[in-house]
Structure 1
Amino acid sequence: MNRTSRGLLLLGACWAGSAAFGQDTNQTYLGTLRIEGAEAQDLLGNTEVSAEDLENRNPSSVKDVFQGEASVTVGGGAAIAQKVFVNGIEESLLSVTIDGARQNKGAFHHTGNVLIDPELLKRVEVTKGLAPADGGPGGLAGSIAYETKDARDLLEPGKSFGGIASIGTSTNGTDLRSALTLFGQQGGLDYLLSGTREIGGEYEDGDGTTMTGTEPDLSSYTAKLGFTTPSGKRLTFSASETEDEGRRAAQLGGNGLYFIRPDFAGLTSGDSVLVDGYARRSSFTFSYADEAPEGWFAPKLQLSYNEQEVDVVGAWGLNTSLSGSASNEWQIGTGTLTAGLDFFDETAKGRGRGTAPYDSRGKESMTNVGLFAQARQDLTDRVSVSYGLRYDMQEFDAADGQEFDGSGLSANASVDVVLTERLTLNAGIASTWGGYELGEAALVNFGGDWTYDGFTTSRSTASRLGLRYETGPWSVSGAVFYTGIDDLNAVLPTGADRGALADVTSRGVEGSIGWQGSDGFARLNYTYADVELDGDTVGTTSYYYGRPVGHIIALEGGLDVTPAWRLGGSAEIALKNTDTPTDLPGYEVLNLHATYAPERLNGVEIRFDIRNVLDETYASRSSDGLNYSRVVALNEAGRTFGVSARWRF
């Protein structure tokens, strides 16, 4: 029996056991847990990008999703290049899910990890450091959970069918972005079909310089089916595929091969050529949940499969992930207890397209089975807690045929204490076992056979301490944080040494000031993150680790000036970073928008955007290769005027 079969059997056994246990009691818990409240979660580092935030930001890329979030930064360029950093730590060191389905990381260090079209995003939850036990395995630096909409989120009351059509263009990059979503419900059956297409040309930076290889060429398709029984049992199936097929800048690498590097504007050592690049993410998910549980029995079951593929000309790579989870949420006297089992079976394989030893073909694989329990309780009307444990067992098959196995315990605890009517204290700690890491799929054995001397498992420790003050429409909060990850294996090994180890830390402070009124809002977020690799400030070419973020200030606001008109904007300010060997320059970027929903055209909304209003010439603080002598950094787009229209029918 292979490891995947064992995982599936354990998954079913755990779910069946929880069902049997849950039928023995009728105790229920009524009320809202304060520890799960938005204010408490935000101070503990669990930030939500809500549906309202997404509407204000009108994202066409993952970079747009996190506008206004100082602690989450994204490098620019085409969709294939964009990587997410949380407090300066790269997303491959976080647990990333889409609708609960685990996502494997990207296959090449010059491309992003998870290719996402934000057209259907409902919300995004980001956990910074303090990963809960039921958040899944591998959350060394936290988690990013993307949730997408289904038909029930979009259907208007009393209707059984509807749709949303949108079209947009801009003066700098995107010639046309169009999307069509159809959805409906008949009895207990609901469905959704959606497609997005974005095409255009290379954008120019603030100096008018064309950024080679940045043209958008994105296609995305999603299908969702759901069935809900009269008693509240719900089955869902979803399938999605997102592709980026644009022409990208490539430069010479080993063995005379060309490699696309969409995260760079170029190399100083030679000219770039335009070649056809390719990136794809395909995902399939089946889930079951009881939305009207009785007593203690509230089971959830999920099984998912996804692929991340890249073709960078000189090499090709594919990451696959089969994952599942079975859990139950029990109502206990003062809160809830979520417990269950999850597993994943993942591979990284690739091939080089040169002559020996650059004609490599190799594969690594890894299987993990985890048991978890997470409790969330209000101990008193002033003290709320969350605490959990998980135990993971892992097997790793190396490219040279060696087998490794390991196991580890993870624990977390946090508390929310009401000090006064307006002042609240939060504190949290976590120790997370990370296990092994798959190497870079496209370069397995590339240039020489990988070796595994010293290959071992990783572990992180994280802590946060913060205060929040609320009075009327105003809120002020601040926190100090620390995340340290030890014994990370080299996923992009120098000299083929996969057993080389590295330690990454991110420490700093966060602060925010917010105002929420009946017709508008305003927020200011500040983050300082000092990111180190092996005791020194992390270099901007240390892929899969982090970026020297330094000081970031983000502002965002919106105001309904009339029932038909809404004005808004966002800004990002990066202060000069003097922690690095060579200072990183600061920059200030302002974006403004206006939306108009004419009363006589029901369901129609027109939006006008001006991005980078000041026409700043800059490279994002999270971009690759900043101030590296061999690299021409990829600047962000200069001033861009955009217009889009959306019709809901």
Structure 2
Amino acid sequence: MPKTSSSIISGLGCLLLSHSLAAETEHSPSHSEQVTQFKKVTVNATRVEQDVKEVNRPIVVIDKENLEERQPNSTADAVSREANVSVSGGAVPGNQKINIRGLQGDKVLQVIDGARSNTNFAHRPSYFLDPELLQSIEVLKGPSSSLWGSGAIGGVVVQNTIDAQDLIKEGEEIGGFVKQGYQDNGDIFTTTAGFGATFGQVDALVAGTYRDSDAMEQGNGNSLYGTESLNRTLLTKLGFNIDSHQRLQAQYRYADLDGHPPTVGSADDALNVKDNLIDREVKDTHAALDYSHKGSSDYLNFDAKIYYNETENRENNTFGGNDKSDVETLGINLLNRFDFGATTALVGIDGYHDDIRTGRAVNASNPSGNRPNPPSKAESDTWGIFTTLTHDITSSVQAEVGLRYDDFSTESKDINTSSDESELSASAGIRWQATDWMRWSLRYDEAFRAPNSYELYIQGTHFNYGAPGWDNNFVANPDLKPEKAENIELGVNLEFDHLLADDRLSITATAFKNDVEDFIYLDVITEADFGPPPACNCITGTSTHKNARDAELWGFEVETDYQVGAFNAAINYGQTRGTHKTTLATGTTKDALPDIPANKWTADVNYGFWDIDTKLGARVLHASRQDRVPDTRETYEGYTLTDLYATWEPSGAMLDGVKVDFSIANLFDKNYQVAWSEVSEPGRSTKISLKYSF
């Protein structure tokens, strides 16, 4: 870590802490601005709303306050500072993937307002929701199929959008906001507006964003041309409180993303040259109807959701043709919680149907059609039933067991073949409140991921070696088995009150070991395996998805948070290791697993100068050198980043409702590369936003 960064943070931390303690001494506790405020944080990642302190799973919550302070350009950007969470794909939101404890892509499930988002295409975007419309983001770490089914072997990213009630002040019937943001790196203008109203038993929300981005710059001054984009998002909700126990709500969400990303991945040589970019437009549509019945009985706490997602992806490829990758999802969730005194039972049914359509252009510039050919028409159906039982053994010991059964099938119309599988996913946990200040937890979780239609059925040309007919071709493998994970983890939470003043110190540590069987990987047989190009027009290499590796991932994360008065300091650290076993004729070897993030710690200190309605903060992230890589990969150098942020929210009547957020990301204009990303990240970015709430 550079001495300048260390000195700034150390000095700021000492200054703010001394100021806080002095304020505690000089002012009476009746001054509310000097009383330590501890917020109650609720989560939905466990399928029911709970206080995060009651959850026996590792969950990180980024609330609205944190989102506005960070001013992220995407959902992935918003979670990138968390322990054992990283982002690949560079600064192009359309290419970003969230990595949790070394697993990413299809191995991390995305959920928005309780509905699955099954939009992971190879080299195509999957996160479309503008973070300006989010009330919070939750990251559930580790396998979670007993709750969510297929895909959650690495974890779950839950995005919760804003509601009408979030915009309306207490005692009012209407409310809303308008917000204008600007970022100098990339000349990014973001306009957001929302309006909420209640009319008796009816409430309504209308909100939208408009984000216009130019080319960003890396720390070395090179342009990131692929970051140019125009994004528009609309969110509407209409709710009806049938009576004091029942509620019905309809939701519609639409996102239109027009960008110019690289053809494949995010390599520097693609993003720094305009001619290597393509035109891409994504239209993402979501509609849902929710019904809930709660509070009338201990045995009836019911939620039902039916939802529809459609993602249309259009690309003007480098051959001058138009490609399409579309997916439609129709899903239903049914859930009820039963309370039997010391025992709580959660019972649910999930079902969804995916309809996938793709097309790859063949034209005069590409007459041989040497393109990857994913299934032009494929369908999949999944049904799951699950239950989770929680029982208070004593006043300090709570046990939990869960079981889920999923049946899933996938069919390709191109090769007239199908795949049918079923899986059981179990979980068990125990939580022990050893003392008022110490809580232990021990968990075991199973998870699985069904292979997607690309992995099962993709054909066509993977790439060409530079000679006519000297191609590497995809070979379909409809016999792929699901990936299966078994995870065990031990956690401890320590909370101390009144250490120095009216303060609190919280420390949470978790150690985990995740074993993944039948790990799916792409087996590429290249020119190294068959020699120079032959003098014939024939296939000279293959690429096939296989279940050939068993992976082992292990590590730990530590998070600390200290609050006193208006001062807050938080530090988190994450470390993950991963290997996979490869069986050869000479025996079994263990090699480094790709996509394992570098060791990373983040420190964040802030102080509220409430006499001038201002909050100031600094954040430092340090990622270590990542040299635990396969023999064929280069190492990734470590880096240290410093961010500054400030919030001004005047309390006077003249400026009531005004809020200004200011931040400088990558203060020292560091040119750096996140492990497993092929592109350097943006350099210094100054951000400012003005929000008016009414």
Which TM-score bucket, shorter chain as reference?
0.7 to 0.9
Which AA in structure 1 matches 2:513? Answer: Y
Q: CA deviation at 1:445?
A: 4.7
What are the residue-to-residue correspondences of 1:309-348 with 2, within 5 Å?
309-314=312-317, 315-348=323-356
CA distance in 2, matches of 1:491, 1:304: 33
What are the residue-to-residue correspondences of 1:418-457 with 2, within 5 Å?
418-439=433-454, 445=460, 450-452=475-477, 454-457=479-482
Q: 1:219 aligns with which of 224, 229, 232?
A: 232
CA contact (8 A) 2:69 2:661 kept: no
Could you tell which deviates more after superposition, 130-139 or 147-156? 130-139
Match of 1:641 in 2: 686
Q: CA deviation at 1:433?
A: 3.6
Q: 2:197 aligns with which of 167, 184, 199?
A: 184
CA contact (8 A) 1:389 1:410 kept: yes
Deviations along 1:215-256, one digit per CA (max 9) or x if unpaired, are 24211111111111123211111111222212334xxxxxxx
Structure with larger RCO (C-alpha < 8 A, sep 6+): 1
Q: CA deviation at 1:369?
A: 0.7
Q: Does residue 618 of the first structure (1) align with residue 672 of the second (2)?
A: yes
* Pair 262,520 (structure 1): closer, same or farther in 2 beyond 3 Å: farther
Q: Does residue 289 of the first structure (1) align with residue 334 of the second (2)?
A: no
Q: 2:157 aligns with which of 105, 126, 144?
A: 144
CA distance in 2, matches of 1:454, 1:240: 37
Q: 1:579 aligns with which of 609, 613, 628?
A: 628
CA distance in 2, matches of 1:115, 1:466: 33
What is the DSSP-based 3-state SS (H/G/I as helix, E as strand, rest coil) of the residue aligned with 2:344? Answer: strand
Q: Does residue 407 of the first structure (1) align with residue 422 of the second (2)?
A: yes
CA distance in 1, matches of 2:486, 2:272: 40
* Pair 401,611 (structure 1): closer, same or farther in 2 beyond 3 Å: same
What are the residue-to-residue correspondences of 1:460-609 with 2, within 5 Å?
460-472=485-497, 473-489=504-520, 495=542, 497-534=544-581, 535-539=590-594, 547-563=595-611, 564-580=613-629, 581=631, 582-598=634-650, 599=652, 600-609=654-663
Q: CA deviation at 1:333?
A: 1.8
- Structure 2 unmatched runs, 5+: 1-48, 318-322, 463-472, 498-503, 526-541, 582-589
Q: Does residue 349 of the first structure (1) align with residue 357 of the second (2)?
A: yes
Q: CA deviation at 1:199?
A: 1.0
Which AA in structure 2 matches 1:371? Answer: I
Q: CA deviation at 1:444?
A: 5.8
Which AA in structure 1 matches 2:187? Answer: T
What are the residue-to-residue correspondences of 1:196-275 with 2, within 5 Å?
196-249=209-262, 260-261=263-264, 263-266=266-269, 272-275=275-278
Could you tell which deviates more after superposition, 65-74 or 389-398? 65-74
CA contact (8 A) 2:597 2:675 kept: yes
Which AA in structure 1 matches 2:554? Answer: R
Q: CA deviation at 1:296?
A: 0.8
CA distance in 2, matches of 1:444, 1:344: 26
Q: CA deviation at 1:578?
A: 2.3
Q: CA deviation at 1:622?
A: 5.1
TM-score after normalising by structure 1: 0.84
Q: CA deviation at 1:343?
A: 0.7
- How many residues matched? 587
* Pair 264,533 (structure 1): closer, same or farther in 2 beyond 3 Å: farther
Could you tell which deviates more after superposition, 583-592 or 276-285? 276-285
CA distance in 1, matches of 2:159, 2:198: 24
CA distance in 2, matches of 1:411, 1:522: 37
CA distance in 1, matches of 2:523, 2:663: 40
CA contact (8 A) 1:61 1:117 kept: yes
Q: CA deviation at 1:326?
A: 0.9
* Pair 476,366 (structure 1): closer, same or farther in 2 beyond 3 Å: same
Match of 2:500 in 1: none
Q: Does residue 106 of the first structure (1) align with residue 154 of the second (2)?
A: no
CA distance in 2, matches of 1:442, 1:79: 27
CA distance in 2, matches of 1:38, 1:478: 15
Q: CA deviation at 1:320?
A: 2.3
Q: Does residue 382 of the first structure (1) align with residue 396 of the second (2)?
A: yes
What is the DSSP-based 3-state SS (H/G/I as helix, E as strand, rest coil) of the residue aligned with 2:431? Answer: strand
* Pair 351,440 (structure 1): closer, same or farther in 2 beyond 3 Å: farther
Q: Does residue 84 of the first structure (1) align with residue 64 of the second (2)?
A: no
What is the DSSP-based 3-state SS (H/G/I as helix, E as strand, rest coil) of the residue aligned with 1:92? Answer: helix
* Pair 343,247 (structure 1): closer, same or farther in 2 beyond 3 Å: same
Match of 1:32 in 2: none
Q: CA deviation at 1:270?
A: 9.1
* Pair 418,405 (structure 1): closer, same or farther in 2 beyond 3 Å: same
CA contact (8 A) 1:184 1:192 kept: yes
What is the DSSP-based 3-state SS (H/G/I as helix, E as strand, rest coil) of the residue aligned with 1:475? Answer: strand
Aligned Cα root-mean-square deviation (Å): 2.7
What is the DSSP-based 3-state SS (H/G/I as helix, E as strand, rest coil) of the residue aligned with 1:213? Answer: helix
Q: CA deviation at 1:310?
A: 2.8
CA distance in 1, matches of 2:524, 2:255: 29
TM-score after normalising by structure 2: 0.79
CA distance in 2, matches of 1:481, 1:317: 37
Deviations along 1:42-87, one digit per CA (max 9) or x if unpaired, are x732222233432432333213321531222123312212211111
Deviations along 1:586-615, one digit per CA (max 9) or x if unpaired, are 011111111112322110111221111111
Q: Does residue 301 of the first structure (1) align with residue 271 of the second (2)?
A: no
Q: How much identity, in percent, do the aligned residues show?
A: 23
* Pair 434,132 (structure 1): closer, same or farther in 2 beyond 3 Å: closer
CA contact (8 A) 2:69 2:662 kept: no
Which AA in structure 2 matches 1:554? Answer: T
Higher Rg of the two aligned structures? 2
CA distance in 2, matches of 1:648, 1:493: 55
What is the DSSP-based 3-state SS (H/G/I as helix, E as strand, rest coil) of the residue aligned with 1:266? Answer: helix
* Pair 498,273 (structure 1): closer, same or farther in 2 beyond 3 Å: closer
CA contact (8 A) 1:207 1:638 kept: yes
Q: CA deviation at 1:465?
A: 1.0
CA distance in 1, matches of 2:272, 2:339: 63
CA contact (8 A) 2:455 2:545 kept: no
* Pair 450,583 (structure 1): closer, same or farther in 2 beyond 3 Å: closer
Match of 1:51 in 2: 64
Deviations along 1:603-647, one digit per CA (max 9) or x if unpaired, are 011122111111111122352xxxxxxxxx322111122221001
Deviations along 1:339-375, one digit per CA (max 9) or x if unpaired, are 0211111133311113444474623321111110012
What is the DSSP-based 3-state SS (H/G/I as helix, E as strand, rest coil) of the residue aligned with 1:430? Answer: strand
Q: CA deviation at 1:435?
A: 3.2
Which AA in structure 2 matches 1:553? Answer: W
